[in-house]
Amino acid sequence: MKETLIKEILIKSICDDGSFFIESSENQHKGSGLFKHLNKGHKVISSKRYVKLENGLEKFIPIANIIEVLPDRTGFVVIYDNRPNKFSEATSYPWFFEYPNNAAVYNADGSLRFQIKITNNPDSDLYIMGFAQPSMEHPDKVSVIINSTTHPEYGFHQLYAVDPCSPQLIETKQQIRR
């Protein structure tokens, strides 16, 4: 059986004047005109995410967070803030995870593959802050930045790679200056 692959991520936004914009991860460099429209004083009133599959099907994803496609295109990673995004329609499992394990890997069809776990976090003060460029050690994997809720003044963030087959992050021993 052929595996379902992701072609692109679509963001469909509606502004307060009824204008409709589609942003595509495949054509990021082209832009959608949304930001020029917002500069004219308009506000986004709806923002929905879709995973467009290779077969042309679009799957609605009920959250409004940044979605990072896995390199093999069989799934995607979502990092959640400490509370749901204002445009998210789902605000609980399996579409929202609180700190410290505030990220998940999903299959191309939107089903949960697993929640990402930060190991060696005895005080539960670490959390996944955002995406980063791939690590030197694991250039074939999505990378994330780990931050601390109790020590945010540290000069460096820790870089970890996401294993698409395991909920445990891979330590890279790389740091990113703040």
CA 121 → CA 135, 147, 152, distances in Å? Answer: 21, 11, 15
Per-residue model confidence as pLDDT tens for the chain (178 residues): 568 999 999 999 999 999 999 999 887 666 678 888 888 999 999 999 999 999 999 999 999 999 999 999 999 999 999 899 999 999 999 999 999 999 999 999 999 999 999 888 777 788 999 999 999 999 999 999 998 877 765 667 889 999 999 999 999 988 887 6
Domain residue extents for the chain: 6-177
User: Given this model, what pLDDT does residue 147 score?
Assistant: 86
User: Given this model, what pLDDT does residue 152 score?
Assistant: 63
Which two structure tokens, joined as six digits, stand for 129? Answer: 């802050």
pTM above 0.95, yes or no: no
- The Cα–Cα gap between 61 and 43 comes to 22
CA 93 → CA 33, 89, 96, 99, distances in Å? Answer: 34, 12, 5, 13
